[in-house]
């Protein structure tokens, strides 16, 4: 059987047209995003770095010059694009994080931080997969509150308790 070039083009185009929706459907499932939130107390009390924060130590020392870093609370949660996840932070602060989309290696999300019921900050950003965003500044006890927010696609890297110190490794790249 001979196939004319015109017929060949039509055949290939038809095959591609049938294949493309299949591909997009395969990619179109819910995009799972795991969000990590660490609440750190930074102060000048010369107590050093909390053992559980060692993976973040270099980063914190590179950004700030406090002498004490203490992990107050670690939290992690899994959500999907379009669904908001909330975290309760020390000092009556609340963090709402809603992943919007996954664009290549970047995770688009909206972050709203509340002080009680008052929204302190609203931001839209794209965070690199396994990247870290730090939100800090509010005074807390004898120092300042530093919130590290990490996000990664897929399942949590480690579901261990914060005492083990490992969850922060997921956002310490």
> CB 76 → other proteins: shortest distance, Å?
18
For 42, residues 6+ apart whose C-beta sits below 8 A from its C-beta are 60, 64, 66, 68, 69, 136, 143, 144, 145, 146
Residue (of 85, 140, 141, 75) closest to 111 by Cα position: 85
Task: Identify which of residues 20 and 88 has a Cβ nearer to other proteins in the complex.
Answer: 20
Q: 78: closest CA among 31, 132, 133?
A: 31
Among 30, 48, 137, 154, binds other proteins (CB under 8 A): 137
Q: State the binding string over 55-84 for other proteins (x if CB under 8 A, else -).
A: ---xx-xxxxxx------------------
| DSSP conformation class of 158 | -
Q: Say whether residue 139 binds other proteins (CB under 8 A).
A: yes
Q: From CA 170, how far away is CA 168, in angstroms rounded? A: 5
Which position among 80, 83, 84, 105 is part of the footprint of other proteins (CB under 8 A)?
105
In the complex, the residues that contact other proteins under the rule CB under 8 A are 4-6, 8-9, 12-13, 16, 19-20, 23, 42, 44, 58-59, 61-66, 103-106, 113, 120-128, 131-139, 144, 173
């Amino acid at each position: 059987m001979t196939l004319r070039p015109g017929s060949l083009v039509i055949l290939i185009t038809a095959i591609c047209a049938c294949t493309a929706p299949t591909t997009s459907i395969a990619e179109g499932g819910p995009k799972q995003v795991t969000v990590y939130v660490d609440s750190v107390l930074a102060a000048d009390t010369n107590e050093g770095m909390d053992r559980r924060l060692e993976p973040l130590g270099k980063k914190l020392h590179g950004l700030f010059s406090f002498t004490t870093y203490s992990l107050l609370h670690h939290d992690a949660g899994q959500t999907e694009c379009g669904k908001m996840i909330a975290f309760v932070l020390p000092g009556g602060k609340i963090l709402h994080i809603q992943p919007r989309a996954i664009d290549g290696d970047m995770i688009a999300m909206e972050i709203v931080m509340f002080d009680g019921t008052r929204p302190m900050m609203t931001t839209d950003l794209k965070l690199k997969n396994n990247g870290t965003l730090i939100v800090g500044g509010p005074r807390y006890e004898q120092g300042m509150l530093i919130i590290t927010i990490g996000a990664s696609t897929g399942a949590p890297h480690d579901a261990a308790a914060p005492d083990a110190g490992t969850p922060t490794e997921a956002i310490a790249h």
